[in-house]
């Protein structure tokens, strides 16, 4: 199940600094998990037991929700377990761990949830939907997302994508409420959407990656019928030790930590290229070879950079919905939307540069 939601002011900025989502509808949840993060969130491993049972606060049927903020110093084990915990809310680009804590900063930093949510129930590989150049270039330099031109604490731009693994959506009415704590209690802002029977997009094929040997990478994609635009989303994970099985991340590659690249494509099939001009500052090539990583890490068995690639297709212009311009720009509230929007996520493709 994938969910598209935005909660914005007229200027496109997030509507609140803190809210608690409550989603109900004719969906079927997988088995409950007992594993939660330090904010009570179970988004990585599955729904909580109270959500599956329909007994979480505000729920009378199975639901997906968050937890009210607890008093400062509350032990992690005492926080009510829910999908979004204390940290998750609804913001300008959708769900994210961006609720403000007592210091006014996001609980979860500036990194969105990895997709799909509930991957621990399905074994699905995950990818963090952080947008990078060339599609997302808030600093205007066209380089990797951690260059010094953009905040070092922000690894990329939130792409606003929510996918729930192992959740089966049914036809009918869905209800999403933003519950906002106030001095006098709670203000609730509801919305509804109707999912018709059938009409789901076909699966998107995995991308293929080739390495010309000059520090670039060429990615070929094919979109299924009904997809009008897609993200080719790349995470450069850097160097691994190829002598272990499976290879072990060793860091210290010529790019440093992971770097994100994003392309918005509308042609039914084609290729995109990560150019050396997109490399982070101080790095002559975008994708480092095994020899370059061996020299940088002192590990003779170092691999070339590992690229994780997803193709995320939509039957509407999702790119226009996101903050895709310069810092502090004003963004459209929404593009034209179909009656029932849908998304198609490819399998993850992982390859190593030679």
Residue 110's closest CA among 127, 96, 94?
A: 96
**pLDDT tens by residue, 174-233:** 999 999 998 888 999 999 998 888 778 999 999 999 999 999 999 999 999 999 999 999
Query: Rounded CA gap, 194 and 246, in Å?
Result: 44
- What pLDDT is attached to residue 309? 96
Spans of all domains in the chain: 1-122+165-198, 208-352
Q: Which long-range contacts (CB under 8 A, 24 or more apart) does 183-191 make?
A: 189/7, 191/5
**DSSP helix/strand/coil, 95:** strand
For range 26-41, the mean pLDDT: 96
Token pair for 324: 């895709």
Provide the terminal-to-terminal Cα distance of the chain, rounded to the nearest Å. Answer: 37
Token pair for 100: 């403000």
DSSP 135: T
- What pLDDT is attached to residue 124? 80
- What pLDDT is attached to residue 64? 98
What share of the chain has pLDDT > 70, as a percent? 94
58, 65 in Cβ contact below 8 A? yes
- What pLDDT is attached to residue 24? 98
**pLDDT tens by residue, 222-261:** 999 999 999 999 999 999 999 999 999 997 667 667 889 9
- What pLDDT is attached to residue 71? 86
**Whose structure tokens read 């988004």?**
43
Query: Rounded CA gap, 280 and 146, in Å?
Result: 7
- What pLDDT is attached to residue 10? 82
- Residue 246: is the preceding peptide bond cis (ω within 30°)? yes
187, 180 in Cβ contact below 8 A? yes
Q: CA–CA distance from 115 to each of 83, 101, 112 (Å)?
A: 13, 24, 9
Q: Residue 152 — pLDDT band, cuts 50, 70, 90?
A: low
Token pair for 205: 């094929």
- What pLDDT is attached to residue 199? 73
Query: Rounded CA gap, 165 and 118, in Å?
Result: 5
Task: Look over the chain and give the mean of its residue pLDDT values, rounded to a whole number.
Answer: 90
Residue 312's closest CA among 169, 168, 145, 161?
A: 161
354, 285 in Cβ contact below 8 A? no
- What pLDDT is attached to residue 322? 86
Q: CA–CA distance from 220 to each of 23, 159, 205, 216 (Å)?
A: 37, 21, 10, 13
Statement: residue 54 has pLDDT above 80: yes
The neighbour count for residue 74, using CB atoms within 10 Å, is 12
Which phi and psi angles does 51 have, rounded to 5°? -70, -45
**pLDDT tens by residue, 296-339:** 889 999 999 999 999 999 999 999 888 888 776 666 666 777 77
**pLDDT tens by residue, 280-297:** 887 889 999 999 999 988
**pLDDT tens by residue, 293-303:** 999 889 999 99
Query: Rounded CA gap, 224 and 35, in Å?
Result: 36
- What pLDDT is attached to residue 257? 72
Highest mean pLDDT among 100-104, 135-139, 268-272, 329-333: 268-272
Query: Rounded CA gap, 50 and 63, in Å?
Result: 9
The neighbour count for residue 93, using CB atoms within 10 Å, is 26
- What pLDDT is attached to residue 302? 95
- What pLDDT is attached to residue 261? 93
Residue 146's closest CA among 156, 136, 138?
A: 156
């Amino acid at each position: 199940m994938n969910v598209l939601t935005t909660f914005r002011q007229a200027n496109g900025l997030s509507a609140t600094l803190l809210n608690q989502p409550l989603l109900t509808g004719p969906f079927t949840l997988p088995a409950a998990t007992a594993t939660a993060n330090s904010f009570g969130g179970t988004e990585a491993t599955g729904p909580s037991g109270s959500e599956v049972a329909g007994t979480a606060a505000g729920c009378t049927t199975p639901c997906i929700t968050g937890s009210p903020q607890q008093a400062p110093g509350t032990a992690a084990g005492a926080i009510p377990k829910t999908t979004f915990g204390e940290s998750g809310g609804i913001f300008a680009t959708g769900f994210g761990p961006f609720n403000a804590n007592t210091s006014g900063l996001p609980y979860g930093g500036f990194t969105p949830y990895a997709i799909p949510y509930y991957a621990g129930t399905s074994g699905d590989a995950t990818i963090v939907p952080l947008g990078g150049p060339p599609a997302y270039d808030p600093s205007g330099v066209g380089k990797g997302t951690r260059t010094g031109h953009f905040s070092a604490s922000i690894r990329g731009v939130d792409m606003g994508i929510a996918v729930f693994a192992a959740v089966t959506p049914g036809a009918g009415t869905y209800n999403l409420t933003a519950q906002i704590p106030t001095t006098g209690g709670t203000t609730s802002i509801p919305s509804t959407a109707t999912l018709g029977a059938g009409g789901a997009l076909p699966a998107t094929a995995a991308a293929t990656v080739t390495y010309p040997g000059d520090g670039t990478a060429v990615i070929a994609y094919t979109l299924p019928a009904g997809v009008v635009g897609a993200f080719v989303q790349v995470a450069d994970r850097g160097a691994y030790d190829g002598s272990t099985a499976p290879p072990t991340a060793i860091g210290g590659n010529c790019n440093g930590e992971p770097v994100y690249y994003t392309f918005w494509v509308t042609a039914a099939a084609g290729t995109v290229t990560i150019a050396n001009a997109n490399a982070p500052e101080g790095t002559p090539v975008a994708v480092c070879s095994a020899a370059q990583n061996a020299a940088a890490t002192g590990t003779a068995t170092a691999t070339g950079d590992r690229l994780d690639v997803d193709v995320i297709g939509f039957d509407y212009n999702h790119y226009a919905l996101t903050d895709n311009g310069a810092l502090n720009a004003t963004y459209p509230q929404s593009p034209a939307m179909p009656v029932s929007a849908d998304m198609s996520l490819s399998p993850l493709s992982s390859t190593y540069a030679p």
